[in-house]
Structure 1
Amino acid sequence: MHSTVDGFRYGAVTPVAAYLMACLGGALGLRCIVRSLLDEESWKPGWLALGAASIGCGIWTMHFIAMLGFQVEETGIRYDTGLTLLSLALAIIVVGIGVFIVGYRGSGKITLGVAGVVTGIGVAVMHYLGMAAVEVNGDIRYDPLTVVLSVAIAVVAATAALWAAVSIRGFMTSLGASLVMGVAVSGMHYTAMAAVSVHVHGNGNGAWAGDSPTSLLLPMLLGPAVFLLLAGVVVMFDPLLVLGDGEWSKSATSQRTWAAKETTEPAPQHSSAGFGGPVGHARPRLDH
């Protein structure tokens, strides 16, 4: 029996929340990657890893917040815990591959293309692995053309995100890029969900093992959300990330100039001929 699929169970709440999480992860990830490229003395692998984890957590959190609004009217929904966690690990790993490629090899056309394809396909696989964790009393089917379109969107979005990561330096431009990334990632998700159809078995009242959406997803979303919060704290307390390249460079140059000035400036000289007298003048003689 063909069922009715609804991806907006709570109206605009889940799409907006999902979009905001994608933007947050993208913004934090971009700033961390920029940090690794601006300061040669920083621990580059650490900043790249933090950036990849931020973007990966943002994408995964976006996906499952959006999935909270997914329902099939004729049957309940459960989630497989193992596959759900595996999809989170996959999201971080595939984003990390792309980030480390462009972080060390630059944004050449071939490098960016390879990294974008690998990351984009990986993000798409993460989405469909997350969908494989969905258990219903029926069969989940996909429209092939819409699936191909969703993968293409994922590749384009990943390529654009990686280009932005190594090309954009300013804080406001990174913020704007993260908003565009949020649109692209959310668009990929809802395009992929448009490919879904469900055919339930019998009357749709059969029982199956697994965890319900709220009992599984809400606690699991807490972990990535806390991680993004901590990453945000790291970004906020790093002056290079907050000020951006130009302002931070001017601030650092100003501090170095001031320090050099204080080091080279001669100390005030005092007269050795008397107390408080001008330099080079003898203390007047007192006649008795």
Structure 2
Amino acid sequence: MNGTIDGFRYGAVTPVAAYLMACLGGALGLRCVVRSLHNQHSWKAGWLALGATSIGCGIWTMHFIAMIGFQVEETRIGYDAGLTVLSLAVAIVMVAVGVFAVGYRGATPGTLSAAGVITGLGVAAMHYLGMAALRLDGTIEYRTGTVALSVAIAIVAATAALWAAVSIRGFLASLGASLVMGVAVSGMHYTAMAAVRVHLHGTGGAWTGDSATSLLLPMLLGPVIFLLLAGVVVMFDPLLVMGEGTWDRSFARHPVGPRATDKHPAPEPDAAFTPRASTGRRRPR
């Protein structure tokens, strides 16, 4: 017997909230990556790590907020805490692999393609690990073709996000890229959920694990707080708020040495090399 699946138990609330969290993680991550690449004084490893963690947390949070609205009408749903936490770790680590690859090796076609595939597979692995954490009185089955489509969407979305991170530098451009990234991540999630079928063992049978609300809501609190703190870092770092053009002009004017505003007057030219006005003859060099 197949169960009756409802992925929108609370209407538009969960998909909209999930989309906003994906956009927030994407926006913070892209700005941190831009900060590391286009400011010669930045701590690259730290900003790349913050960016990867922001994107990973945004994707994971998006998934499980959307899953709060998922139900099978004939049975209750629980979650395995260990697999749920593991899916978060996989999301962060796999995104970090892609972000660090393009951060240190550049956006060459080969690097970008490899990093996009690895990151996309990581996003898909996060999703299906999260689905493996489901506990219900039945067996979850998948339509192979739809699963393949969801993985392809994840790879394309990850590649596009990495390309945007190294190519789009202005604040408004990054904001627009994060909105598109949110659409791609949400699209991947709901495409993957369209592949789900639940074969019930019975009706109303026993299940193991915590309920969706009792487990997911407390676990979501940590990544959400992290994203808010990362947002504070971004807001109070002027180089993250300003566009790339402002950074380049600043560094072009003062590549090395003291700034023009420093109170260190330029040294006077050596008198030995100053022409003699009285004779019109120059001293030997």
TM-score > 0.5, shorter chain as reference = yes
Residue of structure 2 in register with 1:226 after alignment? 225
Aligned to 2:111: 111
How far apart are residue 206 of structure 1 and its match? 1.3
Question: What do residues 236-287 of structure 1 show as CA deviations (whole Å, max 9, x unaligned)?
Answer: 1111111122224446678975514x43399xxxxxxxxxxxxxxxxxxxxx
Matches within 5 A, 1:5-44: 5-44=5-44
1:247 equivalent to 2:246? Answer: yes
Alpha-carbon displacement from aligned partner over 1:92-136 (angstroms, at most 9, x marks no partner): 000000000000111111110000001101110110000000011
CA distance in 1 between partners of 2:216 and 2:178 (Å): 25
| Alignment partner, residue 279 of structure 2 | none
Q: In 2, distance between residues paired with 1:124 and 1:198?
A: 20
Match of 1:86 in 2: 86
Q: Give the whole-Å Cα distance in 2 for the aligned partners of 1:108 and 1:252.
A: 25
> In percent, how many aligned pairs have the same letter?
74
Is the 2:38–2:247 contact (alpha carbons within 8 Å) kept by the matching residues of 1? no
Shift of 1:39: 1.6
Classify the secondary structure of the residue corresponding to 2:243: helix
Structure 2 residue matching 1:264: 3-state secondary structure: coil
Please tell me whether residue 205 in structure 1 is matched to residue 204 in structure 2.
yes
Aligned to 1:259: 261
Q: C-alpha distance in 1, partners of 2:66/2:265?
A: 61
- State the alpha-carbon separation in 2 of the partners of residues 121 and 105 from structure 1: 20
Structure 1 vs Structure 2 CA RMSD: 1.6
Q: Secondary structure, in 3 states, of the residue corresponding to 2:214?
A: helix
Counterpart AA for 2:125: V
Shift of 1:42: 1.5
Larger Rg: 1
Deviations along 1:25-58, one digit per CA (max 9) or x if unpaired, are 0000000000111122211111000000000000
Equivalent in the alignment of 1:176 = 176
Quote the Cα distance in structure 1 between the aligned partners of 2:65 and 2:104.
33
CA distance in 2, matches of 1:109, 1:169: 19
Cα separation, 2, equivalents of 1:248 and 1:100: 22
The one-letter code sitting in structure 2 at the alignment partner of 1:38 is: H
Q: Give the superposition deviation at 1:3.
A: 1.1
Aligned residue in 1 for 2:164: 164
Task: For 1:139, give the aligned amino acid.
Answer: T
CA displacement 1:185-217 (0-9 Å, x = unmatched)? 000000000000111112x21112200000000
Please tell me the residue identity of whatever aligns with 2:219: M
- CA contact under 8 A between 2:83 and 2:129: conserved in structure 1? yes
Give the distance between the partners of 1:47 and 1:176, measured in 2 at CA.
21
Partner of 2:283: none
Matched-pair contact (CA < 8 Å) for 2:7–2:71:
yes
Consecutive unaligned residues of structure 2, counting only runs of 5 or more, are 268-285
**Residues of 1 paired with 2:248 and 2:107: CA distance?**
23
- Residue 60 of structure 2 corresponds to 60
Structure 1 residue runs of 4+, over 4 Å off?
249-258
State the alpha-carbon separation in 2 of the partners of residues 190 and 154 from structure 1. 11
The answer to whether the 8 Å contact 1:35/1:241 transfers is yes
Given the two structures, how large is their TM-score scaled by the length of structure 2? Answer: 0.89
Q: Which amino acid aligns with 2:13?
A: V
Instruction: Provide the C-alpha distance between the structure 1 equivalents of 2:191 and 2:105, rounded to a whole number of angstroms.
Output: 32
Do 1:57 and 1:228's aligned partners in 2 also have CA atoms closer than 8 Å? yes
Conservation of the 8 A alpha-carbon contact between 2:25 and 2:227: yes
The count of aligned residue pairs is 264
In the superposition, the TM-score normalised over structure 1's length comes to: 0.88
Please tell me whether the aligned partners of residues 239 and 248 of structure 1 are also in contact (alpha carbons under 8 angstroms): no
Provide the C-alpha distance between the structure 1 equivalents of 2:234 and 2:223, rounded to a whole number of angstroms. Answer: 16
Give the match's secondary structure for 1:161: helix
Unaligned runs of 5+ in 1: 267-288
Task: Report the equivalent of 1:278.
Answer: none
3-state DSSP class of the match of 1:221? helix
